[in-house]
Chain A
């Protein structure tokens, strides 16, 4: 099925999404990748508050190339999600609604997605020029010193993704590889 959905996410709506669905997201999403996740984890370990409330929000695992003058952002495709697997369950338990990345996730992340009724989307890896056109605004909102790895707030319009892991724990990559085991 194809869907148009809004971000931040409506938790009831995302329960109806299924692995393999094609989804266009419009609204506000946030970027964070390796260094931002590491810093968030350290912040939590120190008993401090995170710079943002992740409730019902989407984190896009992405570090853009620099924007030319007058442009919103540079190339902006997904990075490999598994590097964030160590950190994701904690954030999901804190209310994070969805993640956009590319590639496989760990069993711990899958469990946390099911436990919290969340969703993992994939964007097409290596389509950073195409995806950048769907980003209408971008602003660094935390960890500016991390450069490309800072946390950015993005306003996106019809940002194309595919549901890989749905709230029931169906996993599109597993479904594909089972189809092909001979």
Chain B
């Protein structure tokens, strides 16, 4: 059965989600932060984590964004194949949701229209929209605004198959070490392994939207996640890069089939303001 959905419904939801996710950290992230504050050994690290918890409370009570970098709006739409959008252009409906959310929610407009001419678009559009077609008649919307302190420290490396899992570990550790304080640790580390050049990057981005603490399904990937989290937290970078044993809250690894000649590996770092919110229409 074909289900009709008005595009204004998409606009309305995206508008609300942009605001919600910039003011309130999702439950999974808030829990991970609380846990980290209890476990942190470094004196300065503990103090910083305490401030970050206070920051979350102030954002809620003062109705102010958790961080002034309210990000570029990354949006995933999983569209059921039995859905028919009516009443307008879907892409434009998404942009309108971002526009309304960022203007009415007092969020920062951080987007320039041309990467070289660099003139601010003043409404935070365009969004980065990823659509996929899935079975069914529902639409899943994920809104995940991304700050660039951590985005700038992300990387993709086309490893050789012979470099194997050790090569992957090296890339992850090097990326985190070089990011140091710049990416606003404690981090969530999203990793994409496999696919093609662009697929690996997308896998890494999607890994960041996974609820923090939820482990990968495949046993060898799950143990790789655990091992990397431990190794990263031994780097000593700590909260704010000021020393301590909480450098990352989680490592999420997503994988995909790849070519016999390749081992693409992407590491997308996200700061502790790892914003992601999901709704189903």
Contact = CB atoms under 8 A, between A and B. Distances in A.
A146 B110 CA distance: 11
B120 interface: yes
A89 interface: no
Interface stretch (A9-17, A42-50, A119-127): A119-127
Contacts of A149: 120
B181 A65 contact: no
B66 A128 contact: yes
Query: Which of B68, B118, B184, B236 counts the most chain A CB atoms within 10 A?
Result: B68
A142 interface: no
A126 B108 contact: no
Nearest to B107: A65
Interface stretch (B55-63, B89-97, B135-143, B221-229): B55-63
Interface string A125-169: 111111011000000000000111100000000001010000000
A83 B211 CA distance: 32
A126 B273 contact: yes
A148 B235 contact: no
B182 A102 contact: yes
Contact of A147 (B67, B109, B271): B109
Contacts of A122: 181, 240-242
A65 B108 contact: yes
A103 interface: yes
Contacts of A147: 109, 120, 122
Tell me if B's interface is mostly helix, strand, loop or mixed. loop
Interface residues of A, number: 41
A160 B47 CA distance: 12
B64 A102 contact: no
Contact of B236 (A103, A132, A180): A180
A98 interface: no
Interface in A52-88: 62-68, 71, 74-77, 79-80, 82
Contacts of A124: 48, 51-52, 240
A173 B109 CA distance: 31
A102 B180 CA distance: 10
Nearest to A162: B242
A82 B182 contact: yes
Size band of the interface chain B makes with A: 35 or more
A65 B54 contact: no
Given A76-B68, A77-B68, A104-B180, A176 B238 contact: yes
Nearest to B122: A147
Contacts, number: 144
B71 to A, nearest CB: 11
Contacts of A82: 182
B271 A126 contact: yes
Contacts of B63: 68
A75 B240 contact: no
A99 B5 CA distance: 51
A75 B241 contact: no
Given A129-B64, A130-B58, A104 B182 contact: yes
B80 interface: no
Given A104-B180, A172-B242, 7 more contacts: A77-B68, A77-B69, A102-B182, A124-B52, A129-B62, A132-B58, A180-B234
Cβ-closest 10 pairs across A and B: A180-B236, A103-B182, A125-B184, A75-B68, A129-B59, A130-B55, A65-B108, A128-B68, A75-B65, A129-B58
Interface of A: 35, 62-68, 71, 74-77, 79-80, 82, 102-104, 122, 124-130, 132-133, 146-149, 160, 162, 172-173, 176-177, 179-180
28 contacts: A35-B118, A65-B107, A66-B107, A67-B106, A68-B63, A74-B65, A74-B108, A75-B67, A80-B182, A103-B149, A103-B181, A103-B241, A126-B147, A126-B184, A126-B272, A126-B273, A128-B55, A128-B65, A128-B68, A129-B58, A129-B64, A129-B66, A132-B58, A148-B108, A149-B120, A160-B51, A173-B180, A180-B234
